[in-house]
Amino acid sequence: MISVIIPVYNEEKNIRILTKELFDVLKTIKDKFEIIYINDGSKDKSILILKDIAKYNKNVRVINHRKNFGQTASLNSGLKHAKGNIIVTLDADLQNDPKDIPRLLNKLNEGYDAVSGWRYKRKDPSSKKIMSVIANKLRRKITGEKIHDAGCSLKAYKKEVVDGLELYGEMHRYIISLVALRGFKISEVKVNHRSRKYGKTKYSSSRLIKGFLDLMFIKFWSDYSNRPLHFFGTLGIIQYFLSGLIIIEQIIKAIVINALTVGPLLLLAVLLVITGTLFIIFGFLAEIMIRLYFRDQPEQQDHMIKEVIN
Ligand code: UDP
Ligand code: MG
């Protein structure tokens, strides 16, 4: 079964058209399907329309958020309720084209665990496109995966890929990177993109900064989540080392001019010792926290095993 997950925030004019487009495409696929709409605290008539659609279609389900929690939270809710063994996600604003879904599914069937859409002819304002070029370049550099357009919401996953995936903040843009860093096989397919006709975009340029912070955390989590002491400890030791160099330099200087002066460099050396010690203590604390985290949620490490033979 295929579960199609769609976050909805103030998309009253789009939902009926989208539902029609989805049914037209999904009918042609032989698998069973369900459509899960997540109403993310819409202030327009979205929820009334969704309830009406669900009333007449048994394979449409609606999850109604208490208030607006954001696109990532909406996807999270959808993923938790999905019953299918294949998950497809897309936006409710008609920018993604449901006609691309079969091509994504075919790519999955070629043996990939997750497939991302690539809006190679993106229909958005140029300010958005420029930001996206920068963000995508940075992401590829930091994560090492080669996906062109991680921000494209139209994606398909095998269920086991998203099981246990914890999404926080605005991580929805990096699901494909998270998945790749967990060792799954990913690919991409060029998809159609349409400009937004009804409703407004919910994001501004502040997303670049938030996105960068999320990206750094993803990288940290993927590299150091099972050994945070190495991360903090290394930074701490580097600071000790720098402090040591300054102190040696200061001692030599003191011998040469035959007097010890308390200048900015010596202060810096003291500061580095203090912050270095703090970093090492952070490392120990992080190590304790991570051990508790994995002890209480052992399923967080399930993705490491692909198969067990005999
Ligand atoms: N969305 C949501 N909650 C939010 C913001 C957005 O569920 O707080 C949904 C929105 O209805 C749309 C999708 O997430 O279906 C993408 O949002 P939008 O089209 O505004 O993003 P853009 O395409 O401009 O990046
Ligand atoms: Mg959009």
Task: For 40-57, give the DSSP string.
Answer: -S-SSSHHHHHHHHHHH-
How far apart, in whole angstroms, are the C-alpha atoms of residue 159 and residue 55? 27
Of 6, 196, 194, 2, residue with least CA distance to 102: 2
Ligand lying closest to the C-alpha of residue 6: 1
**Of the residues 5, 44, 69, 93, which should be mutated to test ligand 1's pocket, given the most ligand atoms within 8 Å of the CB?**
93
Of 237, 236, 234, residue with least CA distance to 279: 236
Q: What is the mean pLDDT of residues 94-118?
A: 97
pLDDT over threshold 90, residue 293: yes
* CATH 3.90.550.10 describes domain 2-222: yes
Q: What is the mean pLDDT of residues 225-248?
A: 97
Task: Determine the distance separating the centroid of ligand 1 and the alpha carbon of 76, expressed in angstroms.
Answer: 14
The type of residue at 184 is F
Question: Percent of the chain scored above 70 by pLDDT?
Answer: 100
Using a 6 Å cutoff on CB, does residue 127 contact ligand 1? Answer: no
The pTM assigned to this predicted structure is 0.89
* Confidence (pLDDT) at 29: 93
CA neighbours closer than 13 Å in the CB half-sphere of residue 297: 10
* Confidence (pLDDT) at 178: 94
pLDDT over threshold 90, residue 304: no
* Confidence (pLDDT) at 303: 81
Task: Determine the distance separating the centroid of ligand 2 and the alpha carbon of 150, expressed in angstroms.
Answer: 14
Q: Which atom of ligand 1 is nearest to the CA of 95?
A: 23
Ligand lying closest to the C-alpha of residue 92: 1
pLDDT over threshold 90, residue 299: no
Question: Percent of the chain scored above 90 by pLDDT?
Answer: 85
Using a 6 Å cutoff on CB, does residue 68 contact ligand 1? Answer: yes
Task: Determine the distance separating the centroid of ligand 1 and the alpha carbon of 7, expressed in angstroms.
Answer: 7
Task: Determine the distance separating the centroid of ligand 1 and the alpha carbon of 110, expressed in angstroms.
Answer: 30
